[in-house]
Structure 1
């Protein structure tokens, strides 16, 4: 009989700029200690560990975990590009639901380098080879870093297909700054206006300014999942639960449609969201709060449509109507998102889990979404994997 996975403990440490952080193992250990304290248990109670990171040698997970405890339990290292943190959470949730374990730790961390993401293994074929080839053929933006070309190209395609103005992306970034102003964990907390975003240094004329891209950051985050029976036995919280979760990878259409929107994961996200809604018996109109993968403002706009918050081509109106913020249909990225909080790849998905758990607990302070009961998480990794998770608050 399937067990429910309860989110008993969550934590994140403040994200920092590359070069200003502690080493990766110290960041991971700090997040683990905080999550254990939040759950009210010691490390000895943990039965399995899933540790997520992208940039590091093998068994970095053990290096971080051993700072906290060495109990001999399984420690598995996870790398799924930018969806690494939520992939670790996905495995932890499966372990609980299957009955393989009753208390599981998912931790993510990343010690980033300054500047654009780059390949570190240049003596062998890149895992992004097919993606890069198609991007070169259809995206434009020659000479720009590939990540920027991917998401800027998707945004440019949305503009051409639906008449979406560049100001829509600027409005997303301005919204993110207003949300982040209330988040002490956000790296960038200065409120900026739509005009200021538009007037920032241009990265791609007519498509993107610098403020529309998330900053590279270092950090760590963690979550403790328990079965309901284990939480009850140990006096831990069980009010926030994973109601449904799905991970998807690419299908042939990612390449066959020759669409930058599809290449950056629109279809993966849409498929995962549809699976989650069906599992839980809810729809996009039921979601109160959402943390989604806004590595660029362009991807946030596209993801509104991917998750069903508005119809294809309807994102600009969704933004103009204020349906992505407080008082609208679904408060999106109340944390400030990746655009303001930063994006340490391995930690991002678990930092999203931290924010949504705090929202459902009613502990989000000035950024609290009133009456939040259903929270949706979307975490995307090119190459590729998309993880969509629905959290619910237990009725009392």
Structure 2
């Protein structure tokens, strides 16, 4: 038997550029306090906690949590690359669903440096070495940062295979900016047009402009998940149900297919989506709103297909038809996504949970998706991990 799991409280602080934020522990504390206030709970009610971050020494989660309280509860620090925040949420949900705990906190934070992502360790082979070697073999371009080569290479593969135009990726970035304009917590709230995205400096000629890549960002977010019995006992809200959730890792096809679209996690995403949909008893046609991992505009387009929102090769028409925004079939990234809201790695998955919880509550204000009853979250980390979560209005 599996207990129903509800999102009782969420918290998120405004995302900021590197060098302008509080320290990681303060950001984590602030997000936790906001989630506790949102749930109407005292910290003493929390039975377990999972802390997500990528760039930091061991037990950074404790430093942030201790600023809120020290009650001796179990705390696990989680690092799953860019899927870290949702991996922490996955563990929290699993603890409640299994009956191991009734009230669990998941929180994430990241204090990032400017510029492209890079390893903190120079004395050992990187964990993503196999994917890096394959990328170099398929793409070359050794002077470009690896993430640009990987996601740009995947976008280029889609362009070559299906005739997708660079302007389509630019339109996705422009859409993100229009959505973020209504999000006071987003790092970038300026609206840019498709033409302005196209006119931005080229990171990879003919493949990617600077505005098609998400910015390094600092921030924090948190969620509190509870069992139905605990919610009833303490008078907590039960209007947002986690109806399905799956965490997947790489499949042999990630490497064996020698396809950049697979290298950046397409098959992980497709499998996670299928499993989460099956758990929730839904299909893509039942969804109204999606928060997906648009670390690059190219990855947002690929994810439309991996989540089953359109057929493989159909993503460009999907964008041209306006089916990815208000008035279309699905509203994708009403928060502005990683491209405009920002991407503090450990906080991203929990920020997605924050947005979708408010969407299903009907409290997303100017971002509100009318009639939102089922929402899907997609959070991807190369190396690899992918978490797809289905939320249902209860």
Normalised-by-shorter TM-score class? over 0.9
Map Cα deviations across residues 4-46 of structure 1 (whole Å, 9 max, x no partner).
1100000100000111110000000000000000000010000
CA distance in 2, matches of 1:255, 1:305: 19
**Aligned ranges 1:58-73 → 2 under 5 Å:** 58-73=58-73
Q: Quote how far apart the aligned CAs of 1:66 are.
A: 0.2
Structure-1 residue corresponding to 2:300: 300
**Residue 251 of structure 1: how far off its partner (Å):** 1.2
Matched residue, 1:129: 129
Partner Cα separation in structure 2 for residue 201 and residue 186 of structure 1 = 23
Q: Is this contact kept in 2: 1:140–1:153, CA < 8 A?
A: no
Shift of 1:119: 1.0
CA distance in 1, matches of 2:127, 2:168: 32
Say whether 1:27 aligns with 2:42: no
* Alignment partners' CA distance in 2, 1:187 and 1:372: 25
For residues 164-215 of structure 1, the C-alpha deviation after alignment (integer angstroms, 9 at most, x for no partner) is 0000100000000110111111111111110000000111000000000000
TM-score (norm 2): 0.99
1:9 aligns with: 9
How far has the Cα of 1:233 moved from its partner? 1.1
1:142 CA displacement: 3.0
TM-score (norm 1): 0.99
Tell me how far apart the structure 1 counterparts of residues 141 and 28 of structure 2 sit (CA, whole Å). 36
Deviations 1:140-159 (A, max 9, x none): 43311001111000000000
Deviations 1:86-110 (A, max 9, x none): 0000000000000000000000000
Aligned to 2:269: 269
1 CA distance for matches of 2:96 and 2:339?
A: 32
Q: Distance in 2 between matches of 1:263 and 1:29?
A: 36
Could you tell me which runs of 5 or more consecutive residues in structure 1 were left unpaired when the two chains were aligned: none
Structure 2 residues without counterparts, runs of 5 or longer: none
Q: Following the alignment from structure 1 to structure 2, what is the Cα–Cα distance between the partners of residues 278 and 308?
A: 13
- 4+ runs deviating over 4 angstroms: none
Name the SS of the counterpart of 1:25 in structure 2.
helix
Task: Provide the secondary structure at the position in 1 that maps to 2:220.
Answer: strand
Q: Give the RMSD, CA atoms, in angstroms.
A: 0.6
Looking at structure 2, the residues matched to 144 and 285 of structure 1 have their Cα atoms a distance apart, in angstroms, of 39
| C-alpha separation in 2, matches of 1:124 and 1:197 | 38
Distance 2:76 2:158 in 1: 39
Q: Is the 8 A contact 1:254 1:267 kept in 2?
A: yes
Partner of 2:108: 108
Moved more, 90-99 or 279-288: 279-288
User: 1:236: Cα distance to partner?
Assistant: 1.1
State the distance in 2 between where 1:334 and 1:256 align.
35
- In the alignment, the residues of structure 2 paired with residue 195 and residue 28 of structure 1 have an alpha-carbon distance, to the nearest angstrom, of 38
Does structure 2 conserve the Cα–Cα contact (< 8 Å) formed by 1:24 and 1:111?
A: yes
Where does residue 258 of structure 1 map in the other structure?
258
